[in-house]
Chains A and B, each alone.
Chain A
């Protein structure tokens, strides 16, 4: 069975400060890892993915994520947060055709 944990329900940061949204996972085999963002009453939008290769992956809107195999983590980061980054963020792990999502972290960036 595969599982994803996002230990923080809420992350609050000031605009211009760096942000980190945490994700750890448990899976058998080598997973594909994804981050998605969701705005109210909308579907999920893809931010970035890790398949193989460099542990630091860069994605949309200046976001990046670091894959750490020994810690089974895939934390989402951004060097300088914007108010418009405020949204609900989901980490997902995929093995084969099946994706498992975390329960989400609400990011609030205050001016």
Chain B
């Protein structure tokens, strides 16, 4: 399977801890997106990369959140000093161009104790 993969699938941590998620996009896709999804809602845009450049960040992305895509391939999303409200599914997607559909990974479900 050469789809988008995310690791880990589940993360349980205590409030105040730092967590890091990884996303491996489809190899030829230069566009990579991070979203957050909570129960009963659609995905909310967090940030977007074109190759290694982070071109757009949502206001939702507080200074505790940081994302990187150092070589234009895989990406990481780090949340520092986690809070209860960070509990959500974090989805990664990739696409080749803006008019092509996004291909989603199965997400990382974060639970804050």
Contact = CB atoms under 8 A, between A and B. Distances in A.
Interface of A: 4, 32, 34, 36, 41-46, 49, 51, 90, 92, 94, 96-104
A99 B47 CA distance: 11
B98 A94 contact: yes
Interface stretch (B38-46, B61-69, B72-80): B38-46
Contacts of A98: 45, 48, 56
A49 B42 contact: no
28 contacts: A32-B98, A34-B102, A36-B104, A41-B107, A43-B93, A43-B106, A44-B93, A44-B102, A44-B104, A46-B101, A49-B101, A92-B42, A94-B98, A96-B98, A97-B48, A97-B50, A97-B98, A98-B48, A98-B56, A99-B33, A99-B43, A101-B42, A102-B42, A103-B40, A103-B41, A103-B42, A104-B40, A104-B42
A99 B101 CA distance: 10
A4 to B, nearest CB: 8
B102 A99 contact: yes
B103 A41 contact: no
A94 B81 CA distance: 32
